[in-house]
Structure formats: C-alpha cells, structure tokens
Amino acid sequence: MHANPPTPAAPATLAELIAALRARAAASQTSPAVRADYQALLSAQGLSASQMPYADYAYLRLLFEATRDGGYWNLHWTITDREPNSDAIWTQWRALRAIGPGRVSANAECDEISALYAFLARRGGVRNVGLFWPTGNHTVAVWSLPGAPREARIVVPTTQIFLSQYDSFGTRGFDPWKQPRIYEYGRRDVSDDLRLPPELSAFFIAQAARYADASGLSLQRLRGLRDRVLDGAMSREEAVQHAQSQRQRLPAGADRDQLAYAYFIREMREPG
C-alpha cells in the first residue's frame, strides 16, 4: 500500500489552514481513486477538463468530505434556526479544547454547513460556489462552471437530507436549475488571521491526510458510519464491525481505500 504523506505542523491561522488544505488536495491528485472520480464526474456532466480544472475539483472534493454532515471533521447537522453563514461554526471551533473519535466538533444546520463550504472554497481560490435552496427549508452548495454551450452546475450535498445514502458530490438528486441564479458566496465570515486551537487545526490536517486519497464511494460509506456514531445511533465498536465488513469487500488494488478504512477503524478504537 502507499503511505500517506507526513502530516504537516498544525496551522496557526485560517490562512495557513487553507494553504495546507490546498497542498493536501494537490497531493491527492496523484491518487488513482481521486482521478477516477474526477473522470467519472466529467463524463456524467459532459464537461471538459478545461471547464472543470482537476486542481479545483480536488480541493472542493477534499472540502466536501471534510465539512459535510458526518464528514471527517466531525461536523453534525442539527436544527439551529441561525442565519445562513458559518459564524457560529467558527465560534464553536474557537471554543473547542478537545476533539476525538465520536466527538462532534460543531453543530450546525444545512445552510450553515453549506455556507462554511462555500466560504472555504472562495478563500482557497475557487470561485462561483454559492448556496442553492432545492426546497424552501433546505440548503446545499452549488459549484457553477462557466463555459460552452452553457454554464454547468455541480450540486454539492453538504447533508443527505432529501437524498439517498448514495447521493454524493455532483448528485442529480436536486435540479440546480430550479434556482435562476446561483450567487457566489462572497461573505467573509471570519478573517484570514483567525487563530484556531492548535489541537483542532492539527486534527483537521491529520484527517485530510488520512482520507483525501480514498474513493468517493468508500468515503460515503465511512461518512454514514461516522454520522451514526456522532448522532448516538451507533456505538464506536459497532462502527468498527461494519467498517471491517466493508473493508473485506473492497476490490483488489484499492490501496487508498484500504488505508482509509484502516485509519477509520483505528480512530474508532482510540480511547476517549
């Protein structure tokens, strides 16, 4: 199996965190699983590589798996009735002093999580990511891609609400053209010099190093297990048992997925 690259030192500021995430996303481009997912999305959406640059895709894919409900940054969906921005998420993160397996890093509603995703996308240099309301009471993110013959819109389902367990990055479960305009999320929710607790920023980078190279399918399955642990619907040991069963069914040569499952099992078995 291929070992993941060494985890860098914990970023001190938001700007350093984003730079580290972009570097990790760039490294993930060498993963056959990431490349295969990219090619599959190009084909499904009828896009060219020039219309959807691989580097931007890899960064947005990493953010998606990290920040989604049940993703590997341990965000958890709940009803909050807060405004559609990520301010409260950053407030919770700044107050956090311990993070570990099965422990929620921040609670947020769908519009807050989608705003966080869009905010980090723009701060990382990817434009035209905004919020989309497929229904009056639900929000996801959309990545708009200009080009001929017309603009393309990639749905980024930051939660699984109103979707099946199989819907993921680029889902067709929502029609993004129901909304006439997708406005780029331009609000600066926090400043680039925001300082995060060192343990939390180290956790964010370590999780990206562990999981960014795996296939979307394996990450979707692991998200489902992690989400049930965060929600209290499954114990960590039960999640380990399911993960071991799924890992045994991985196809030959899925080295990056094997590593991701190994990390997940180890994480769920950590004390705390």
pLDDT tens by residue, 16-64: 999 999 999 999 999 999 999 999 999 999 999 999 999 999 999 999 9
pLDDT tens by residue, 238-251: 999 999 999 999 99
Tell me: pLDDT of 122 over 60. Answer: yes
Taking residues 201-206, what's their average pLDDT?
A: 96
Instruction: Say what the pLDDT of residue 148 is.
Output: 67
Q: How much is the pTM? A: 0.95
The pair of structure tokens assigned to 158 is: 């930051």
Tell me: pLDDT of 206 over 90. Answer: yes
Instruction: Say what the pLDDT of residue 54 is.
Output: 98
Q: Which amino acid is at 245?
A: S
Instruction: Say what the pLDDT of residue 85 is.
Output: 98
Instruction: Say what the pLDDT of residue 14 is.
Output: 97
pLDDT tens by residue, 91-114: 999 999 889 888 999 999 999 999
Tell me the C-alpha distance between 58 and 159, whole Å.
19
Question: Do 134 and 261 contact (CB within 8 A), yes or no?
Answer: no
Instruction: Say what the pLDDT of residue 98 is.
Output: 87
Q: Give the phi and the psi of residue 201 in degrees, each rounded to 5.
A: -65, -35
Q: How confident is the model at residue 6 (pLDDT cuts 50, 70, 90)?
A: low
Taking residues 221-227, what's their average pLDDT?
A: 98
Instruction: Say what the pLDDT of residue 210 is.
Output: 97
pLDDT tens by residue, 125-139: 999 999 999 999 999
Q: How confident is the model at residue 7 (pLDDT cuts 50, 70, 90)?
A: low
Residue from 64, 96, 54, 76 nearest 197 by CA: 96
Tell me the C-alpha distance between 21 and 43, whole Å.
26
Taking residues 200-219, what's their average pLDDT?
A: 97
Instruction: Say what the pLDDT of residue 2 is.
Output: 47
Beta bridge partners of 13: 195
The pairing of beta strand 75-77 with beta strand 138-145: unpaired
Instruction: Say what the pLDDT of residue 10 is.
Output: 80
Instruction: Say what the pLDDT of residue 271 is.
Output: 81
- End-to-end CA distance of the chain, in Å? 29
Tell me the C-alpha distance between 38 and 41, whole Å.
5
Provide the mean pLDDT of the chain. Answer: 95
Beta bridge partners of 138: 135
- Cis ω for the linkage preceding 157 (within 30 of 0): no
Question: Do 140 and 112 contact (CB within 8 A), yes or no?
Answer: no
Q: How confident is the model at residue 8 (pLDDT cuts 50, 70, 90)?
A: low
Q: Which amino acid is at 246?
A: Q
